[in-house]
Amino acid sequence: MMKKSATALVHRIPWVLVVFVAALTIPWMGTRYDTFLATQIVISALFAMSLNLLLGTTGLVSFGHVAYFGIGSYVCGILMKTYGVPFSIALPAAAAGAALGALIFGFFCVRLTKIYFAMLTLAFSQIVWAICYKWNDVTGGDQGIPDVPYPNLDWMSHIPVLSDLRIAEQFYVLTLIVVMLSLAVIKRIISSPFGLMLTTIRENPNRAASIGLNVRGYELAAFVIAGGFAGIAGALFGIFNRGVFTDFVYWPKSAEVMIMTILGGIDHFWGPVVGAATLVLLNQEITSYTEYWPFVLGVILLILLFAFPGGIVGGLTTGFAWLRRKAGGPADA
């Protein structure tokens, strides 16, 4: 009885809000560098979370998710740098552009399955890369778009606590607000009837189709939503990185975000966030010892695939369940 109400309580806590408040303290509690890392983590977390809508929720292995991240960052970067459009318009435009790209590409992708789906998503992302790489007049070609400006954050100076912060820290606060709102929306989507249908499709597409579900339609919808959120992450990252460059759209970055997601665990809502935080911090820690970070990452990936296919969160959940069984005896299990 006690246990049951405790679990219910855990579920009732608005975790997104809790995480938001905890993360919000970083500019005041930590150093400037901590805020820098936190910004990177928060943006990566949204990117990984958007991929997990496909990977974990719908069971679609997209190897070209970086395309929508890239579209978002280029749309936002071009609008803000070249045309001086304010962030409040450039960000939605980036999301819309990425979602539109995902709609066009996804329309074709969802007609394929498994390895062919992965290949086609890869092909489309390389098409986006080739365009960004060669269309000098608009995308800056291999020079990219340097010096994307920070958004105008004057309104923050009217808020007492925020006015003392540096621009990079204010941008972190803005990023955190945008990302946490996005996560809240994603959480709602996953637990909505629509999200449950996506899970049904992941578990058994044939059965989902036979109960009258428009499998392709649902998959496409998931693809578009995931693309849109990846676009938001890309837009934020372009500003954070003070520029948009072609390696934002190059295929190894698709693999990187996939590793992030898997590392955290694709079966749990917070998995991609944990994965993003772990990977960014690990990268930070290891690159201070050695320049051979990819080597270490490869080894981590191998260990993960063979020993902990459920990722960090998956491993912890299994570990806790095991401990609880040990402590409470078989009756509780």
| Per-residue interface string for the shown chain with another protein, residues 276-295, x marking contact by CB under 8 A | ----------------x-xx
Q: Give the residue, chosen from 279, 297, 312, 313, that forms a contact with another protein under the rule CB under 8 A.
A: 297
Site for another protein contains 67 (CB under 8 A): no
With beta carbons less than 8 A apart as the criterion, state whether 111 and 54 touch. Answer: no
Number of residues that bind another protein (CB under 8 A): 38
- Report the residue from 4, 12, 114, 158 that binds another protein according to the rule CB under 8 A: 114
What's the helix, strand, coil split of the chain in %, to 5?
A: 80, 0, 20
| Residue 266 C-beta: closest distance to another protein, Å | 8
**Piece in contact with another protein (CB under 8 A), picked from 5-13, 238-246, 299-307, 324-332:** 299-307
Q: What sign does the dihedral 91-97-103-108 (CA atoms) show?
A: negative
**How far, CA to CA in Å, does 308 sit from each of 267, 269, 278, 303, 312?**
13, 17, 15, 7, 7
Helix (H, G, I), strand (E, B) or coil at 32: helix
Is residue 104 involved in binding another protein (CB under 8 A)? no
Q: Output the smallest distance, CB 111 to another protein, in A.
A: 7
- Is residue 124 within 8 A of residue 109, CB to CB? The reply is yes
Query: Distance (Å, rounded) from C-alpha 46 to C-alpha 25?
Result: 19
Q: Does 100 bind another protein (CB under 8 A)?
A: no
The contacts of residue 297 (CB under 8 Å, 6+ apart) are 259, 279, 283
Q: Least CB distance from residue 276 to another protein, whole Å?
A: 16
How far, in Å, are 79, 93, 96, 325 from residue 144 at the CA level?
Answer: 14, 19, 21, 55
CA distances from 296 to 48, 293, 305 (A): 20, 5, 14
3-class secondary structure, 267: coil
Question: Using the rule CB under 8 A, is 298 a contact of another protein?
Answer: yes
Which position has the token pair 């803000």? Answer: 80
Q: How far is the CB of 44 from another protein (least distance, A)?
A: 18
Binding string, residues 213-252; x marks residues near another protein by CB under 8 A: --------------------------------------xx
Region of 155-163, 186-194, 257-265, 278-286 interacting with another protein (CB under 8 A):
257-265
Q: How far apart are CA 311 and CA 266, in angstroms?
A: 7
CA angle 269, 273, 278 (to 5 degrees): 135
Residues 127-146 that bind another protein (CB under 8 A): 127, 130-131, 133-134
Query: With CB under 8 A as the contact rule, which of the stretches 25-33, 94-102, 107-115, 185-193 interacts with another protein?
Result: 107-115
**Judged by CB under 8 A, does residue 150 bind another protein?**
no
Q: Are 187 and 16 in contact (CB under 8 A)?
A: yes
Q: Is 158 in the site for another protein (CB under 8 A)?
A: no
Of residues 31-60, which lie at the interface with another protein (CB under 8 A)?
55
Q: Which residues bind another protein (CB under 8 A)?
A: 55, 61, 63, 108, 111-112, 114-116, 118-120, 122-124, 126-127, 130-131, 133-134, 251-252, 255, 258-259, 262, 292, 294-295, 297-299, 301-302, 305-306, 309
